[in-house]
Amino acid sequence: MGIKLGCIADDFTGATDLANNLVQAGMRVLQAMGVPPGPLSADVDAVVIALKSRTVPSAEAVEDSLAALRWLQEQGAGQIYFKYCSTFDSTKDGNIGPVTEALMDALDTDFTVATPAFPENKRTVFKGYLFVGDVLLHESGMQNHPLTPMTDPNLVRVMQSQCRRKVGLIDYSHVQQGPAAVRQRIADLRRAGVGIAIVDALTNHDLASIGSAFKDMPLLTAGSGLAIGLPQNFGISPGSQAAVLPAPGGARAVVSGSCSVMTNAQVAAFIKSGRPAFAVDPARVAAGEDVANGILSQALPLLDGGPVLVYSTADPGSVKAVQEKLGAAQAGAMIEHVIAAIARGLVEGGVGQLIVAGGETSGACVQALGISQMQIGAQIDPGVPWCHAHTDIPGNQGIHIALKSGNFGGEDFFEKAFAASAL
């Protein structure tokens, strides 16, 4: 028998977020970093393949996603789930629309849904508008994202601008009435020539209800929230399947390349606590200085005294100034490269418990550490579990790693995560 659910996530924090929600909902999950080189050997309900496809050119995102789809189909996946950000992070050209349509073509399906709703993390969709907490997406700080600034909260409009197919809406008046009304709405939209529908959802109850209406859909596209509503379709009941990870060991460190509002607050709280923190200065990196080794030589001797932080996290004004000089994509890639080299240097120097803040940053760090699979452990905050992974560092016995999405976690997230790992 094949796997029940095959998932393709467009970034690495997003992949652990989805895997975590599936695990919380009762599924046994394998998370793979990139398309696995061989067939699946574990007995699991779902596989999440993490790609770094959110901000790459859309043709590349499509190619990578189709390769992931082929592998999942070879493992007998019954349903495919394309996971993107709960803030619908997209570049001007996509990639949510182009990847969705390529997957629809490959699966030969004429209809799918799209909903980033994740109520537990305060992402809700109403009348097709995405709210983050009490404000609309474009007032949430996401308008200042370094790579995917989100300036339009109307998801029908955003998705339509990325798609050839007609985009419609399953609004709350249908969702509220339950699965039968949602199925009826889908039939009506199909007749009207709609290929992709944004779906409203405000609560976990809504997600469970729409999840059951989507039981027979070959392709689902969503944030991680919808995962809560799917295991029931496979006869799986809620109940955590989090793995008991090996006992944590080694020194502790945080590396952060996220510039989100929440990460800025978390970095500020860490610095305020008086623990050692080292800033990556983009200007010095651009000038060709060996910033990675400079920081490592200062940070490594301090590891015995408790966690250290290395960050490029900055406010929107500073990010804009850097981008004006270097270009947004170039600045992003350059900083990711330095932080990834630092993450590897920290693990080589004895770090066994590592937090990475930022999705693109996590992708770069996980790749630099040579991690190919992660085991999902206990949740720290909604959307962020501790994980265990093997690296390709000679002699390394594996590390505990938490990939924190930009806007997830409370202000004390770093402290809370290390307190949890000590249990």
Ligand X SMILES: O=C(O)[C@@H](O)C(=O)COP(=O)(O)O
Q: Which residues bind ligand X (CB under 6 A)?
A: 11, 13-14, 17, 85-87, 223-224, 358-359, 383, 405-407
Starting at the edge strand that comes first in sequence, how are the strands of the sheet with 123-126 ordered? 123-126, 129-132, 135-136
What 8-state DSSP symbol labels residue 246?
P
Helices (H) and strands (E) in the chain, counts: 14, 18
* Closest CB 87 distance from ligand X, rounded Å: 6
Q: Of 332 and 382, which CB lies nearer to ligand ADP in the complex structure?
A: 332
Q: Of 111 and 266, which CB lies nearer to ligand X in the complex structure?
A: 266
18 binds ligand ADP (CB under 6 A): no
Q: Which of 119, 358, 382, 385 binds ligand ADP (CB under 6 A)?
A: 358
Q: Of 44 and 222, which CB lies nearer to ligand X in the complex structure?
A: 222
Distance of CA 340 to the CA centre of its chain: 17
- Interacting partner of 7 out of ligand ADP, ligand X, none (Cβ under 5 to 8 A depending on kind): none
- Interacting partner of 322 out of ligand ADP, ligand X, none (Cβ under 5 to 8 A depending on kind): ligand ADP
**Distance between the two ends of the chain, CA-based, in angstroms?**
37
Give the length of the chain: 423
Single-letter amino acid code for the residue at 116: P
Strands (E), 55-162: 79-83, 112-115, 123-126, 129-132, 135-136
- Interacting partner of 86 out of ligand X, ligand ADP, none (Cβ under 5 to 8 A depending on kind): ligand X
Q: Which of 211, 377, 406, 409 binds ligand ADP (CB under 6 A)?
A: 406
Q: What's the longest Cα–Cα distance across the chain?
A: 66
Which token pair is 97?
Answer: 């629309």
Single-letter amino acid code for the residue at 105: D
Q: Which residue has the tokens 């265990």?
A: 388
Q: Which of 361, 375, 391, 421 binds ligand ADP (CB under 6 A)?
A: 361
355 binds ligand ADP (CB under 6 A): no
* Closest CB 85 distance from ligand X, rounded Å: 4
Residues facing residue 220 across a β-bridge: 81
Residue nearest to ligand X (CB): 359
Contact positions with ligand ADP (CB under 6 A) in 135-154: 145-147
* Closest CB 334 distance from ligand ADP, rounded Å: 7
Q: Of 17 and 45, which CB lies nearer to ligand X in the complex structure?
A: 17
Contact by Cβ (8 Å): 115, 226: yes
**Which residues make Cβ contacts (< 8 Å) with residue 230, sequence separation at least 6?**
5, 22, 25, 79, 81, 211, 214, 220
* Closest CB 102 distance from ligand ADP, rounded Å: 23
Q: How far apart are CA 31 and CA 186, in angstroms?
A: 31
* Closest CB 260 distance from ligand ADP, rounded Å: 4
**What is the contact surface with ligand ADP in residues (CB under 6 A)?**
145-147, 257-260, 263, 282, 312, 314, 318-319, 322-323, 331-332, 335-336, 358-361, 405-406
